A and B are shown apart, each in its own frame.
Chain A
Amino acid sequence: MPSFSKINEDYSIVCYLETKYLPPMSWSPLILTLQLASVTTVVLFVVGLPLAWWLNRSNSRFKSVAEALISMPLVLPPTVLGFYFLIAFSPGNAFGGWLDEVLGLRLVFSFAGLVVASVIYSLPFMVHPLQSGLAALPASLIDAARLLGKSPWQILTKVQLPNIRPALLTGLVLSFAHTVGEFGVVLMIGGNIPGQTKVASIAIYDEVEAMNYGVANAYSLVLIAISFVVLLGIYRLNGRASTPLEKPITQP
C-alpha cells in the first residue's frame, strides 16, 4: 500500500483543480450511483410506507419480529447481507433458479439485483423515521378523521403524511444518502461491471487498487460534495419546518 503522504503530495485538491492534472475520469459510475440511489429511494418509499403504517398501528406479536428483521442491516456487516444475497440470488440455487426461469430475473451481477439488495440494506433508514413520525402524531387526529367518515387511505394521504413532512423528508434523504454510500453489499452482489454495477464507491476502490489516485480522488470529491449538499438541504428544510409559528393571539 502507498503511504497517504504520497497521495497528499501528488494529488492535493489544488493540483486536482489544475486542468493539466485532470485525470481521465469516467462519469458513468457516478451516474450509476445516482440512478441506483434514486430508484432505491422510490422503491423504498413504496415498500417502507405500508410497513411503517402497519408497525405504527399493530399490536401483533409479530410486530417485534418484524421490527428486529427490519433493523438487522443496522448491525450486520454489509458483507454478511451481500454474501447471503449472492447465495440466494445465484441461478444455481433454488430461489435464484426460480427467479431466473419463471420471471427471467437475474439478480446477481445486475442493476436489478443491486436495487433489491439496496432496498433491504437501507430499509431501516426509511421505515424508522416514518414509523416514529406516525407515532408522534396525536391519536385524536386520526379519531377525528375516522368520525368524519374518512377511509384509512384518505387519512394517510390527507392527514398523516402532510403532518409528518419532516420525518418523510428524513426518510427519503437518509435512504438516498445511505444508498450512495453503500459498498460491501454492492461489491458482493454486483461485482464490477462498468455501466451496470460499477457504482462510484466500487470505482474508487478499483482505481486505488490500480494506483490511479487522481481518479479515486475525483470520484471521492464528487461524492463528498453530493453528500454534503444533500444533508445540508435536509437540515435547512427541517430547520425551517420546525421554526415556531406566529405567536398565538390571546384574545378570542
Chain B
Amino acid sequence: MISLQVSKRLYAAGGEMRLQLDLTIEKGAFISLYGPSGAGKTSTLRILSGLLRPEAGRITVNGTTWFDAEAGVSIPPGERNIGYVFQDYALFPNMSVRENLRFALRDGAPDQRVNELLEVMELGSLAGQKPATLSGGQQQRVALARALVQRPKILLLDEPLSALDPSLRRRLSDYLLEWHQSMGLTTIMVSHDGGEILKLADRVIEMREGEIVRSGSPQEVLFPDLKASGLHMVATLLSKQIDEGTATLEVVVSYPVWPAPYLSLTTDAATAAGWRAGDKITIELTSQGHRLSKR
C-alpha cells in the first residue's frame, strides 16, 4: 500500500502553485491520474519516485518510510524499485535496444531477464537497433521493457500512449493491462484519454491546480453528473470474441462525440448472443459500470 501526504511549491507557467496531496493507493491497483495540464500530475509521479523532493510530508510504501521531511529521510530514486515510463520514453540514444535493457540490470543480475523481456515485448528482431531508428510504438515498448527489467513493484506511466495512433494505442494498452496483472504491479498512469482510462483504470484521481478534486471509479469521475440518469452512448460493434462465458467487444462510439472512440468492453456471453459486427449497440453508463443492449 502506498500512502502519500506531501506538499510542494511548484513554479508552473501560470505562476506559483502549491501541490497538496493526500493519497492512499491499494496494492495491485491500476490508478489513473486525470486532469488538465499543469495540474501537478507529472509532479506527483516525480515525488513518488524520488526525482522531486517535497517540502513537507511523508511517503510510506508497504510499511517502509520512503520520505519523511521531519525526520530528514529520503530514499534515493534508485533504491525505490520503481519502473517509470517517461512521456518522451527517455531511451539512451547511444545504446541499442538490448543495451538499454542491459543498462537497467542491477550489478550481477543475469542477462536472461533481458532476453525474456525482448521476447515477450516482441523486440527480438530490433535488439541491435538504436532508439532513433524505431517508430513511436516500438520506442514505447522498449521503454516499458526497460522499466520492467528490475522487476519493480510499482509502475509509473506518464502519458505513455499519447503520442501514438489509435490502433497502436489499443494494442499497447492491452500489453499494459496484461503486464499489470501478471506481474502483480501497482500502476499509476497519467492520462487525458477517457477511453484509455475506462479500459485500464480501477480508480481515477482527478487533479486540478495541485489538488485532488475527485477520486472514484472511472465512470464516477469521467461522468460525474450522470450517476442518476445514466448516459446513453451509441456505438457500432466491430468485433466480438467469446471466451468462457465472457464476451469481449470492440466498438467504435458514434454518439456522443468521443475523443478516443475505440473502446473494448466486456459483458457476459448471453447478453451479446446473436450480435454481429456492424450492429448498433447502446452503452448505458451508470455508477456501477456499464450496461449494454442492442438497438
Contacts and interface: CB of A to CB of B under 8 A. Distances in A.
Interface string A132-146: 000000101101111
A148 B150 contact: yes
B23 to A, nearest CB: 20
B168 interface: yes
B152 to A, nearest CB: 9
Nearest to B104: A148
A246 interface: yes
Contact of B77 (A146, A158, A245): A146
Contact of A141 (B46, B92, B146): B92
A2 interface: no
A149 B130 CA distance: 22
B84 interface: yes
A252 B138 contact: yes
A152 to B, nearest CB: 11
A159 B92 contact: yes
B57 interface: no
A63 interface: no
Given A146-B51, A147-B84, A249 B106 contact: no
B49 interface: yes
Interface residues of B, number: 34
B132 A140 contact: no
Contact of A158 (B46, B90, B103, B136): B103
Contacts of A148: 78, 103-104, 150
A163 B91 CA distance: 12
Contacts of B80: 147
A147 B51 contact: yes
Given A138-B88, A140-B88, A248-B135, A147 B94 contact: no
Contacts of B146: 144
A252 B171 contact: yes
Contacts of A249: 133-135, 138
B92 A147 contact: no
Contacts of B46: 143
A163 to B, nearest CB: 5
Nearest to B149: A148
Contacts of A239: none
B194 interface: no
Contacts of B77: 143, 146-147, 149
Contacts of B138: 249, 252
A24 interface: no
A150 interface: yes
B86 A143 contact: yes
A19 interface: no
A138 B104 CA distance: 18
A141 B133 contact: no
Given A149-B79, A150-B78, A158-B103, A144 B94 contact: no
B84 A245 contact: no
A250 B141 CA distance: 14
B93 interface: yes
A73 to B, nearest CB: 32
Contacts of A162: 94
A138 B137 contact: no
A147 B90 CA distance: 12
Contact of A250 (B76, B93, B132, B135): B135
B93 A144 contact: no
B82 interface: yes
A11 B90 CA distance: 60
A251 interface: yes
B78 A147 contact: yes
Contact of A248 (B86, B88, B106, B133): B133
Contact of B133 (A149, A246, A252): A246
A146 B78 contact: yes
A147 B133 contact: no
A245 B94 CA distance: 13
B149 to A, nearest CB: 8
Interface in A141-186: 141, 143-150, 158-159, 162-163
20 contacts: A138-B90, A141-B92, A143-B84, A144-B90, A144-B92, A144-B146, A146-B76, A146-B77, A146-B78, A147-B49, A149-B78, A149-B106, A159-B92, A163-B93, A245-B130, A245-B133, A249-B138, A252-B135, A252-B138, A252-B168
In the complex, the 5 A-B pairs of residues with the closest C-beta atoms, listed nearest first: A149-B78, A252-B137, A140-B90, A162-B94, A144-B90
Interface of A: 138, 140-141, 143-150, 158-159, 162-163, 245-246, 248-252
Given A146-B76, A148-B150, A252-B168, 19 more contacts: A143-B51, A143-B77, A143-B86, A144-B90, A144-B92, A144-B146, A147-B49, A148-B78, A149-B76, A149-B106, A149-B150, A158-B92, A158-B103, A162-B94, A246-B132, A248-B133, A248-B136, A249-B133, A249-B138
Interface of B: 46, 49-51, 76-80, 82, 84, 86-88, 90, 92-94, 103-104, 106, 130, 132-138, 141, 146, 150, 168, 171
